[in-house]
Amino acid sequence: MKFAITQDGLNPVRDRVVSAIVDEFERHGHSISSESNGVSFILNLTDLKHPRAGRRRSQSVFIITVVAGDHETDNIRALCYSTLVRTLSNLLIYVGPPNGSPFEIYFTTPEAGFYHLPFDPANVYERMLPIAGSHYAIENEFSTDLPERLWSTSPVVEKIKRYARELDNLGVLPLPFPLRDVLGEEELRHLYKIYGITGLSYGNLSARENIPELGGTTLWMTARGVNKATIATVGKDVLLVKGFDYGRGTALVSVPAQYDPKARVSVDAVEHECIYRNFPAVGAIVHVHAWMDDIACTRQNYPCGTRELAEEVVHLLSRTDNPSRSVIGLKNHGLTITGHTLEEIFDRIRGKLLTEVPMFG
């Protein structure tokens, strides 16, 4: 795997840590490239006072930003997350002020993952590699072939509206930083270009609806970045996924003649479609940033919307007693919950969700 480095000025602490990380990557056979073309990720070395946004030529290039703190802060999680957003990164590595040796390293992901550990190059490498080597599958391809009878709503769409409101009321949809509070217009345009999103929203719902003229695995799913309490419009707030092109990493979305061209199905569409395709008895899926005790959990904190996360969730479901009624933990992130219907899922989880997701190094 090749990677590039961009650097703002000099910072002895940050640069010392990065030098050790680079040595570890090279020890495992990866190499630095002087060009940003053809690389898997970019190490973006910047500073906290004026963080520079990472720039990639394509969505497939991951940005890993490294900054160093020179003073104590009351809310390091907020500092790290706001810096992650400002730098448009897939991972932020914050080198904390040393209180002795070694340095403390804090990891922050867009999915609100936040954990830390003493600096050790091998441990940092092990946590960076799954992110740097992941493959996004979050593109959308629209076809205006949604049957007219579904342009306004359907029984399944009405269920999604109802349970999206309940999900909102459960208090498990954190919004750490409204994007417009931390990003300028140019950065917002860049974010939309790369990810097709203009807002951050956590949690999503999907449910099957059999639409024979569109294929064998058709499902409704909430759109990216929408307020779950106010879902209203087909082709904008909720979208019909009729399949997935895994080679191109693209959800195949069926929309009415009048639809919002900026709408995008949730980034978790690849995971949901993969679950429905592999487990025909699954009729609905809910994803929340919450936790439950005694559940199977992914080993890595893969980014949402990647093939790797979808494949690991499917693998874990295949090892459960009943994949159609299971709960899978997503490391440092939340839960994927399968059921026969949305009603059945919510009956199972009411009063059992832990709003604090445990963080693991």
Exposure string for 180-205, b = 16+ CB within 10 A, e = fewer: eeebeeebbebbeebbbbbebbbbbb
Per-residue pLDDT for 197 more than 90?
no
In CATH terms, are 2-132 and 139-349 the same topology? no
User: For all residues of the chain together, what is the average pLDDT?
Assistant: 90
Looking at domain 2-132, its CATH class is: alpha beta
Does 175 or 167 have the greater pLDDT score? Answer: 167
Residue of 306, 343, 348 whose CA lies nearest to 327: 348
What's at 239, amino acid-wise? L
Instruction: Find the mean pLDDT for residues 89-107.
Output: 84
Contact (Cβ atoms closer than 8 angstroms) between residue 305 and residue 320 = no
Q: How much is the average pLDDT of 332-357? A: 94
Note the pLDDT tens digit of each residue in 272-302.
999 999 999 999 999 998 999 999 999 988 8
pLDDT in tens, 100-152: 667 899 999 888 789 999 999 999 999 999 999 999 999 999 999 999 999 99
Determine if the pTM surpasses 0.75.
Answer: yes
pLDDT of 346: 97
- The per-residue pLDDT for 193 is 62
Q: In this prediction, what percent of the chain has a pLDDT beyond 70? A: 92
Please enumerate in sequence order all residues whose Cβ is within 8 A of that of 147, keeping only pairs 6 or more positions apart, or say none: 211, 213, 214
Give the Å distances, CA to CA, from 80 to 85, 127, 195, 210, 257.
Answer: 9, 17, 20, 44, 42
pLDDT at 175: 54
pLDDT bin (cut points 50, 70, 90) of residue 161 is very high
Whether 179 shows a pLDDT value over 70: the answer reads no
Domain boundaries, the chain: 2-132, 139-349
Q: Indicate the CATH number of 139-349 among 4.10.490.10, 3.40.640.10, 3.40.225.10, 3.90.1710.10.
A: 3.40.225.10
pLDDT of residue 140: 96
Query: Which tens digit of pLDDT belongs to each residue from 36-67?
Result: 778 999 999 999 989 998 888 777 889 999 99
User: What pLDDT shows up at residue 60?
Assistant: 83
Q: Identify the pLDDT of residue 40.
A: 93
Asked if omega into 102 is within 30° of 0 (cis), the reply is yes
Mean pLDDT of 150-177: 86
Radius of gyration of the chain (CA): 21
